[in-house]
Amino acid sequence: MKLQQGQVWKRNDGHECFRIVVLERLAVQFKALPDPESCDGTHQTQTKKEFCRLLKNCTLLAPEQLPPRPADRKRGA
């Protein structure tokens, strides 16, 4: 598993999604979202180790499965 900025992970129970905002050597800043279409969420920071433990029960959403982000919609219009 290779983490990259912009990836969206969805919990297998379907209650929450995580979008990686900033990926550093030892830390990950991410946004916890109720669903991938939502822009409402909270920014959080964890160590990479803690974040990877959080992702154990998650699946990576492919870019095709994601709705266009608001910034992408403006560019396409």
**Average pLDDT value for residue range 55-70:** 82
Predicted confidence at residue 35, as pLDDT, reads: 83
The answer to whether the beta carbons of residues 20 and 5 sit under 8 Å apart is yes
Taking the domains of the chain in order of start, what are their residue ranges?
A: 8-62
Model confidence at 77, pLDDT cuts 50, 70, 90, reads: very low
Higher confidence at residue 69 or residue 7? 7
User: In this structure, what is the dihedral angle of CA atoms 59, 64, 71, 3, given to the nearest 10 degrees?
Assistant: 40
Q: What DSSP string describes 11-71?
A: ETTSS-EEEEEEE-SSEEEEEEESSTT----EEEEEEHHHHHHHGGGEEEPPGGGSPPPHH
What pLDDT, in 10s, does the model give residues 3-60? Answer: 999 999 999 988 899 999 999 999 999 999 998 788 889 999 999 999 999 999 999 9
Q: How many CB atoms neighbour CB 39 within 10 A?
A: 9
